[in-house]
Structure 1
């Protein structure tokens, strides 16, 4: 693995997202279909983890907007030798978002029953956004602009990043090992996160600071972190046979 000094530059502190401000950012949806990321193989690897784990409603493909798809390829092409990019999740159906949020919230409420409800919901939101199909404030993954990614080795095996994907603990925060790298293992986690972070941000993505794996392009969170006046993507979904029939019948009418 050839790693340059610039690739391993530290990750600067990332501001916590002001969700109400973010939700007020206007969306000027430029349209565009979702594309199956698996088409980019072997340059990109996909592992639709929620489907593999049996989450109700999860789909067996990672779908993303074209601008996201192309930027992921850019990231994969610029990773150091011996490293690959794995997409774990991208577009996410509402029913999956609902299941993830409700399940984690229930666990947080049980574990932290002594906290105020607002605090428990804030803890949950750090790792799972509240489900929303609203045109003006959709859940990030519903837009096709948010992706969950990880690094793998040359054989496709996922690399240890210091916490597992979707692990709801402090070690999952992107900059955690910038401050807790006291031995060889933790320095390795820190460096791998640096490689992933800078590759993604340099390609135009924005990172959710509580999740080293979550990046977005074109959604409202991306717009806030990147200083854009509007978001590019609203709610979306893969095309369906029924939708194609409806369009063709409408055109024939």
Structure 2
């Protein structure tokens, strides 16, 4: 995958972003549960996410759009598995980086904004995905729930770019497309073969440019997936949301 570097004026790097810790009175007996760093168990609800260090990304930057794929039936499972959760939550450090990436994008292209399709994901949902694809070639696109996805820690985000009028930029495939056409490592080949257009590849590069500039890392098999810290560091330091 091609790496890109992006430099802005130092003043832009000193963004003043205030963490937001949401509260909710909603309680449900069968909600998924989250572990704190101290090993305590909390109900996975918006009331508990703030104290656990998770932030609503739109509280940091209201311009970021959120359309969670797994809160609707618009996903490969054709099932809404997030219950009533509609907000995108990340660990504070990841949320700050995402807001920074959107600021960079706005400087370059004021008519564009980031759109989040997935952020914090309970491990029970990863298990559902893994089971649904069990035995198929597509299973390699889903993290083994035994080890956990970086989404389960709140440090991964699935993101694309949209115009302020709501029209998404053409990236060549939708998010959650299981196939080589979605893999950044093959973009140059598909461009030469005519399976991806110059515009589609340029749009992907723009996304990588602003995300990398903000401190995210990409992966070679999904153009939309970015991680805020090194995987090994995350797994050593943080607990997963169950």
Q: Do the structures match in fold with TM over 0.5?
A: yes
Residue 76 of structure 1 corresponds to which residue in structure 2? 102
Displacement of 1:237 in angstroms is 4.0
Task: Give the aligned CA root-mean-square deviation in angstroms.
Answer: 2.8
Displacement of 1:152 in angstroms is 0.6
Residue 87 of structure 2 corresponds to which residue in structure 1? 61
Does the alignment pair 1:235 with 2:236?
Answer: no
Does the alignment pair 1:85 with 2:111?
Answer: no
Hey, which of these two has a bigger chunk of helix by percent? 1
Does the alignment pair 1:37 with 2:41?
Answer: no
- CA distance 1:175–1:190, shift in 2 (3 Å): farther
**What is the distance in 2 between the residues matched to 1:156 and 1:233?**
37
Which whole-Å deviations, capped at 9, do the CAs of 1:168-212 have from their partners, x for residues lacking one?
A: 011010233322225696111110111111211121111111000
* Aligned residue among 134, 139, 155 for 1:145: 155
Residue 11 of structure 1 corresponds to which residue in structure 2? 2
* Deviates most, 184-193 or 31-40: 31-40
- Is the radius of gyration larger for structure 1 or structure 2? 1
- CA distance 1:184–1:56, shift in 2 (3 Å): closer
Which of the pair has the greater relative contact order for Cα pairs under 8 Å at 6+ separation? 1
Hey, which of these two has a bigger chunk of strand by percent? 2
1:100-179 correspondence to structure 2 within 5 Å: 100-106=129-135, 108=136, 120=137, 124-125=139-140, 127-132=141-146, 137-179=147-189
**What is the distance in 2 between the residues matched to 1:147 and 1:96?**
15
| Number of equivalenced pairs | 187
Does the alignment pair 1:189 with 2:209?
Answer: no
**What is the distance in 1 between the residues matched to 2:198 and 2:210?**
18
- SS of the residue corresponding to residue 138 of structure 1 reads coil
**What is the distance in 2 between the residues matched to 1:92 and 1:215?**
14
Residue 26 of structure 1 corresponds to which residue in structure 2? none
Which whole-Å deviations, capped at 9, do the CAs of 1:88-142 have from their partners, x for residues lacking one?
A: 1011011211111111225x1xxxxxxxxxxx5xx522x110113xxxx432111
**What is the distance in 1 between the residues matched to 2:226 and 2:87?**
18
Residue 97 of structure 1 corresponds to which residue in structure 2? 126
**What is the distance in 1 between the residues matched to 2:3 and 2:217?**
13
TM-score, normalisation: structure 2 = 0.68
- SS of the residue corresponding to residue 80 of structure 2 reads coil
- CA distance 1:148–1:206, shift in 2 (3 Å): same
- CA distance 1:32–1:155, shift in 2 (3 Å): same
- CA distance 1:83–1:176, shift in 2 (3 Å): farther
- CA distance 1:40–1:234, shift in 2 (3 Å): same
